[in-house]
Amino acid sequence: MTQKLALITGASRGLGAALAEALAPTHHIVAVARTTGALEELDDRIKAAGGSATLAPMDITVPDAMATLCRGIHDRWGQLDLWLHTAIHAAPLSPANFVAAKDWAKSLAVNATATSVLIPYVAPLLGQSGKAVFFDDKRAGDKFFGTYGATKAAQMALAHSWQVETEKTGPRVEILEPAPMSTALRGRFFPGEDREALAGPKDEAARLLPQILGTAD
């Protein structure tokens, strides 16, 4: 396969879906998410624009599923050029002394533990020349964001450690901070916010794409 290959975890909606469409002209997309219908809609849009995708309706919190996914990528293509990790769980806002155990457990599983499982699975596919991209959202310490902020910060700590560990050996690890976007995730946090004042996911994907591809000035 001569076309480059991009794995996007959390590809069914929001920034993940927008990045999948933005990369599709130059990359075959391996799109991972739990929602089959949303993945199929993404596939339709990619195909309509002349691109191609492989859909992987999987739960990133299931280690065996992620092992199967990465083994399948290895067996079919042998390598990855890009991994974009946009999957995230947005727990309900809550004071720290009222955090629900189920919300904490799910946030930890999606935002932190799954990342710790995926990095060692994906790293061999990226090799020395591939690139992994993570997306920061600095909510740690904000009031009512205890569950989301703490588990997102744990994800970013893993990503930052991997970034400095691989500076000389590869793969390259990049951490970007998207602008506030009119996504369902943000809507859960700020339901009364003026969404017209926010960036659209497609516009933000277009802004971030040069940094992801290494073509920014």
Instruction: In whole angstroms, give the CA distance from residue 103 to residue 98.
Output: 11
Give the structural domain span for 59: 4-213
Report the half-sphere exposure of 215 (CA within 13 A, side-chain side).
6
User: CATH no. for residue 121?
Assistant: 3.40.50.720
Q: pLDDT tier at 1 (50, 70, 90 boundaries)? A: low
Number of domains in the chain: 1
The 10s digit of each residue's pLDDT in 159-204 is 999 999 999 999 999 999 999 888 888 888 888 888 888 889 999 9
Structure confidence at residue 186 (pLDDT)? 87
Instruction: In whole angstroms, give the CA distance from residue 119 to residue 174.
Output: 13
Q: Is residue 91 a contact partner of residue 103, using CB atoms and an 8 Å limit? A: yes
Q: How far is CA 46 from CA 31, 38, 49, 76, 82, in A?
A: 11, 12, 5, 21, 17
Structure confidence at residue 217 (pLDDT)? 56
The distance from CA 127 to its chain's CA centroid, rounded to whole angstroms, is 19
pTM here? 0.94
